[in-house]
Structure 1
Amino acid sequence: MSRKPVTLTFKVDPALAEILDKVPNKSEFVRRAVLSALENTCPLCSGTGILTPRQRDHWATLARTHFMAKCGDCQEYHLVCHAGDSPDHSHGMDLESHLK
């Protein structure tokens, strides 16, 4: 069974409306922009920019053994583990139980 498309509307300021008027297929452009934004959100805060108190606690645990570093190739920041591949190192959770 095919699902019927849903129409969404949203408000924009006049300057953005003027720019969007120049886009040949506004619907496709907005659809792709929204999907791209959703695929590129922060995995910890889900794009809100704010951590809940529990997320902050988890982050604090992770931050004890990790740090942010700038990549020498692409210049983007990423997490690096202080402990490396130490056999007694734990990231504070059982990953397998979280994936089930």
Structure 2
Amino acid sequence: MKKERVFTFKTDEGLAEVLDRIPNKSEFIRKAIEEALGKQCPLCNGTGSLTPAQHNHMQHFLTVHSLEKCEECDAVHFVCQTDNDRSHH
């Protein structure tokens, strides 16, 4: 069995009150973190910002791609300018 480690974090009172109502906080938080890590941005690795070099590459990328909002699901996604007529679903 792998050794378990304990992590703590600070939160505001509102979130603390919501978490207090969850029967198994540890399991809930663990699953939420695992899900979030699986869905992080592949470019920034979940940091929320790009390095200057990544920003330069993104600027170049956006010369042949655009960001558009899907009319069906409202998700923002990349569209290659040569593939505008293809479905993304």
TM over 0.5: yes
Q: Which residue of 2 aligns with 1:44?
A: 43
Deviates more, 1:43-52 or 1:54-63: 43-52
Distance 2:43 2:18 in 1: 33
The alignment-based identity, stated in percent, is: 47
1:1-100 correspondence runs (5 A): 2-84=1-83
The number of aligned residues is 83
**SS of structure 2 residue aligned to 1:68:** strand
TM-score, with length taken from structure 1:
0.74
Give every structure 1 segment of 4 or more consecutive aligned residues whose post-TM-superposition deviation is greater than 3 Å.
none
Look up the equivalent residue of 1:73 and give its one-letter code.
E
Query: What is the CA-CA distance between 1:57 and the residue it aligns to?
Result: 1.3
- Give ranges in structure 2 of 5+ residues lacking alignment: 84-89
- Give ranges in structure 1 of 5+ residues lacking alignment: 85-100
CA RMSD in angstroms comes to 1.3
Larger radius of gyration between Structure 1 and Structure 2: 1
TM-score, with length taken from structure 2:
0.82
